[in-house]
Amino acid sequence: MKEEIIEYARKNTTPVSEILYQLTRETHLTQVSPQMLAGTIQGAMLQMISRMIRPNRILEIGTFTGYSAICLAAGLTPPPDLLPGKGRDRGGVLHTIEINPELESIIRKYLHEASLTDAVVLHIGDAMKIIPTLDDTWDLVYLDADKPRYPDYYNLLFPRIRPGGFILADNVLWDGKVLDPPEKWDKDTRGITAFNQLVQLDTRVENLLLPVRDGLMIIRKI
């Protein structure tokens, strides 16, 4: 898509909050791969989807610096900002898992700035080990972690997603590499293509692959 069209879309999308602007700026100044940030359009889409679903329990796999967590938490029901001092048990909760401990300080900084410390639970470590310890049924899952394990995450999570619940999976076009012949696939591309095929053949779900940014798969458990 032409950059002019993308910029036009940005200009005709609700502007990001000051907190997300500052988080974006700090991410670009301090991180080696700032392009991993959700960004204006995708972040706004995640926020819009969450607000439409109004989930009570969200799981995010792959926090990075916290941009998408802040966007997704905007839809938690009831909204965290209506429950000052009430604690997590009185409102919706988002659990987010990040494997890189060096990102913890920036994540916690901006969750605090966004007044989400009572609504977002940050876990640092391997998601495959952490997920089984979480005793929740998920209304919404956002998957944006190590690509070779996308199928493993899907199979692990599926029994714990409520009927009618959603999975959002990022990077499912993997910079267009999904169109390359299989002999050219690296391990990440193999993981993504295996995941896409797994979802497409799963009769327990409805799915929509949107060519937004690097591809976003929306999956609804029937």
CA distance 71 to 45: 9
29 CB neighbour count, 10 Å cutoff: 8
> What does the pLDDT look like over 47-61, one tens digit per residue?
999 999 999 999 999
Give the pLDDT confidence score for residue 2 in this predicted structure.
Answer: 83
CA distance 65 to 109: 10
Compute the mean pLDDT over every residue in the chain, rounded to the nearest whole number: 93
Among residues 96, 59, 46, 54, the alpha carbon closest in space to that of 76 is found at 54
Give the pLDDT confidence score for residue 197 in this predicted structure.
Answer: 98
Query: Cα 211 vs. chain centroid, distance in angstroms?
Result: 16
CA distance 79 to 89: 13
Give the pLDDT confidence score for residue 77 in this predicted structure.
Answer: 85
> What does the pLDDT look like over 124-169, one tens digit per residue?
999 999 999 999 999 999 999 999 999 999 999 999 999 999 999 9
Looking up tokens 């080990």, which residue turns up? 129
Task: Kindly list the strands in the beta sheet with 120-124, ordered across the sheet, starting from the edge strand earlier in the chain.
Answer: 120-124, 93-98, 57-61, 138-143, 161-170, 216-221, 205-210
Q: What percent of the chain has pLDDT over 70?
A: 95
- Which domains, and CATH codes, for the chain? 3-221 (3.40.50.150)
> What does the pLDDT look like over 59-97, one tens digit per residue?
999 999 999 999 999 999 875 445 444 444 558 999 999
Give the pLDDT confidence score for residue 84 in this predicted structure.
Answer: 47
Long-range Cβ contact pairs of 103-110 (< 8 A, separation 24 or more) = 103/63, 103/64, 103/65, 106/23, 106/26, 106/27, 106/30, 106/65, 106/66, 107/63, 107/65, 107/66, 107/69, 110/19, 110/22, 110/23, 110/65, 110/66, 110/70
pLDDT confidence tier of residue 1, bands split at 50, 70 and 90 = confident
Question: Are 202 and 161 in contact, with CB atoms under 8 Å apart?
Answer: no
Give the pLDDT confidence score for residue 79 in this predicted structure.
Answer: 53
